[in-house]
Amino acid sequence: MREIGHFIGGKEVAGASGRTADVYQPMTGEVIAKVALASKGELRAAVENAAAAQPAWAATNPQRRARVMMRFLDLVNREMESLADLLAREHGKTIPDAKGDIQRGVEVVEFACGIPHLMKGEYTEGAGPGIDIYSMRQALGVVAGITPFNFPAMIPMWKFAPAIACGNAFILKPSERDPGVPMRLAELMIEAGLPAGILNVVNGDKEAVDAILDDPDIRAVGFVGSSAIAEYVYSRAAATGKRAQCFGGAKNHMIVMPDADMDQAVDALIGAGYGSAGERCMAVSVAVPVGKRAADTLMDKLIPRVEGLKIGPSTDPVADFGPLVTKQHLQKVRDYVELGVREGANLVVDGRDFKMQGYEDGFYMGGCLFDEVRPEMRIYKEEIFGPVLSVVRAKDYDEALRLPSEHEYGNGVAIFTRDGDAARDFAAKVNVGMVGVNVPIPVPIAYYTFGGWKRSGFGDLNQHGPDAIRFYTKTKTVTSRWPSGVKEGSEFVIPTMQ
């Protein structure tokens, strides 16, 4: 059985804490690896390694840093099939979905290749008598990322690519549930020419997380996971003087207006609600049809589609989605479905008892569909993170607008309509960070920023795009004047441009 350690100083090293966690293959339910869980001392060793390597990397001109990213892109594309296979076997998502996971990470690496332009400062000649002012962006030093199980390729690349391109050294603490791909990405970065010590992968659990948050030499922390832990990471990081961008849970709504193309809306709900078994922070988990006629039509079309979903092993090329990530998470999702039944929601499609022939020990579940869900129910309030879609019927547009706006999460929302005025009004007024108009999963492309509002996001800056460059750099502003022709004498008032 494979034993996964850590990646420190440009190579994999064995764990020294004596603690490990099982890594499962969700489609069969078997343990396929043991991953080391780092101690505080092992995390500290990675930080010291990174701190020693970082100054020389920051002094490397940005064009050369960009070339490392370009070579890394070539290597990831070369390894796409093997990376996707590894990702699918540890996570459970299908091979096509695994490739999408990798591709969305690659797009942020492509953005980071523009770092020579992205780090340019500002310059004003003659801002005052003989005075020039310019600014420069400089790396923070050692920074860290704590990433979740559901996107083991994409989110690590969202974090480390811009950070490293800016001249920082990076400590990655991926999910211990599927650590294989992050470890392989670190190896490919070294193959691309990244100096040893600039990207370190420390596998672990809460002990490693707390060590990151308390380490005095880590200047910034990025996190993606549940809202409770996002708030914890943000608060503890801020208490130790670190920058923090922490992204939490979601309850993404899709508003279906009476004039919407219902076939298009159903297609969108099936893909966005059940893709990757619903284990996406941008999954649509609430459908909000407006008016009784729209709701009845939507349900008539939606029920047979949910009943016809194809669930299969990750390697099945025609499966719509595969198993959930662990047996414990599967039970958690089943418990939420049972809770919804007790709360009085109408479970019109029940996929809890689905079994995959030949894979009876795998962590499978069929699609579930609730109708007549009410806002006071826990299945509406809380993130389920599984193949469960709730339909909340709204009597009119104003009620449909209020539902996502008043929910404690504010990650993503979508509206399906043919009415441009309604879409424009909705996009302007809804209290949610990312909005789709006839787009069910409104994940911005790499040169825009990604981030939710309310309890979906903690911190002032978002992920990738221009915000990533701002987050991973500090701005220094220089005001300069040279002696020639300068009037001598002391000045006792604050300098102005008069």
Tell me which residues are annotated as active site: 281
Coil, strand or helix: which one is 313?
coil
d(CA 428, CA 34): 49
Which residues face 128 on adjacent strands? 131
Q: Is the CB of residue 17 less than 8 Å from the CB of residue 197?
A: no
| Largest CA-CA distance found in the chain, in angstroms, rounded | 89
Give Cα 113 distance to the centre of its chain.
20
Q: Is the CB of residue 405 less than 8 Å from the CB of residue 253?
A: no
User: How wide is the angle at C-alpha 461 spanned by C-alphas 152 and 99, nearest 5°?
Assistant: 25
Q: Is the CB of residue 380 less than 8 Å from the CB of residue 391?
A: no
Q: What is the dihedral of CA 438, 443, 444, 449, to 10 degrees?
A: 140
**Nearest residue to 43 via CA among 18, 15, 23:** 15
Q: Is the CB of residue 471 less than 8 Å from the CB of residue 449?
A: no
d(CA 498, CA 489): 17
d(CA 320, CA 305): 11
Q: Is the CB of residue 46 less than 8 Å from the CB of residue 146?
A: no
Q: Is the CB of residue 258 less than 8 Å from the CB of residue 291?
A: yes
Q: Is the CB of residue 22 less than 8 Å from the CB of residue 3?
A: no
**Helices and strands, number each (H, E), in the chain:** 16, 23
d(CA 222, CA 147): 8
d(CA 153, CA 155): 6
| The two structure tokens encoding residue 446 | 């790499």
**Nearest residue to 285 via CA among 388, 401, 377, 185:** 388
d(CA 258, CA 140): 51
| The two structure tokens encoding residue 487 | 């009037």
| The two structure tokens encoding residue 368 | 């579930």
